[in-house]
Structure 1
Amino acid sequence: MGLTLYHARRTRSLRPLWLMEEMGLKYELKSLAFKMGATGGDEFAQINPLQKVPALIDDGQTLLESIAIMEYLMGRYGPTDLCCTPQDPEYGPYLQWLQAGESHFGMYMSLFIGHRLLLPKEQRNPDIAKWAATNLQSACALLGDRLKHPDSILDRGFSAADISVGYVLFVIDMIGALEEVAPQTVVQYWNALKERPAWKRAISL
Structure 2
Amino acid sequence: MIRLHHIPFSRSFRILWLLEEMGLKADLRPYSITDGSLRAAEFKAISPVGRVPALEIDGITIYESSAIVEYLTETRPEHGLGRLAGDAERVAFLEWLGFAETQASILASLNMQHLFMGDPTPASPVVLKLEAARLGATLKAMNHTLTDRDWLLDSGFSAADTMMGFNLFSAPYYVHMDRFPHVQAYVERIEQRSAYQVARALDGIQEFYKKEFYEVPDV
TM-score normalized with structure 1 length: 0.87
Structure 1 stretches lacking a partner, 5+ long: none
Matched, 1:203 2:200: yes
Q: Supply the distance in 2 between the matched residues of 1:195 and 1:121 (Cα, whole angstroms).
A: 41
Tell me the equivalent position of 1:88: 87
Measured after TM superposition, the shift of residue 144 of structure 1 is: 1.1
Q: Supply the distance in 2 between the matched residues of 1:141 and 1:121 (Cα, whole angstroms).
A: 33
Distance 1:158 1:178, change over 3 A: farther
The equivalent position to 1:113 in structure 2, one of 111, 114, 137, is: 111
Matched, 1:192 2:189: yes
Distance 1:151 1:113, change over 3 A: farther
Deviations 1:34-63 (A, max 9, x none): 238752634323322322111111233211
Task: Give runs of aligned pairs for residues 44-59 of structure 1, distance below 5 A.
Answer: 44-59=43-58
Query: Does the Cα contact within 8 Å between 2:139 and 2:183 map onto a contact in 1?
Result: yes
Measured after TM superposition, the shift of residue 146 of structure 1 is: 1.0
Percent of pairs with identical residues: 32
Q: Which region of structure 1 is more displaced relative to structure 2, 181-190 or 20-29?
A: 181-190
Q: Supply the distance in 1 between the matched residues of 2:92 and 2:148 (Cα, whole angstroms).
A: 15
Query: Does the Cα contact within 8 Å between 1:169 and 1:178 map onto a contact in 2?
Result: no
Distance 1:182 1:52, change over 3 A: farther
Of structures 1 and 2, the one with the larger relative CO (CA 8 A, separation 6+) is 2
Amino acid in structure 1 at the alignment position of 2:181: Q
Amino acid in structure 2 at the alignment position of 1:189: Y
Q: Per the alignment, in what secondary structure is the counterpart of residue 199 of structure 2?
A: helix
Measured after TM superposition, the shift of residue 22 of structure 1 is: 0.3
Amino acid in structure 2 at the alignment position of 1:9: P
Structure 2 stretches lacking a partner, 5+ long: 203-219
Task: Give runs of aligned pairs for residues 90-105 of structure 1, distance below 5 A.
Answer: 90-103=89-102, 105=103
Q: Per the alignment, in what secondary structure is the counterpart of residue 29 of structure 2?
A: strand
Measured after TM superposition, the shift of residue 159 of structure 1 is: 0.8
Deviations 1:108-165 (A, max 9, x none): 1111222223332543222111111111111111111111456411121111111112
Task: Give runs of aligned pairs for residues 158-173 of structure 1, distance below 5 A.
Answer: 158-173=157-172
Query: Does the Cα contact within 8 Å between 2:11 and 2:166 map onto a contact in 1?
Result: yes
Query: Does the Cα contact within 8 Å between 2:82 and 2:158 map onto a contact in 1?
Result: yes
Q: Which region of structure 1 is more displaced relative to structure 2, 111-120 or 31-40?
A: 31-40
Q: Which region of structure 1 is more displaced relative to structure 2, 78-87 or 21-30?
A: 78-87
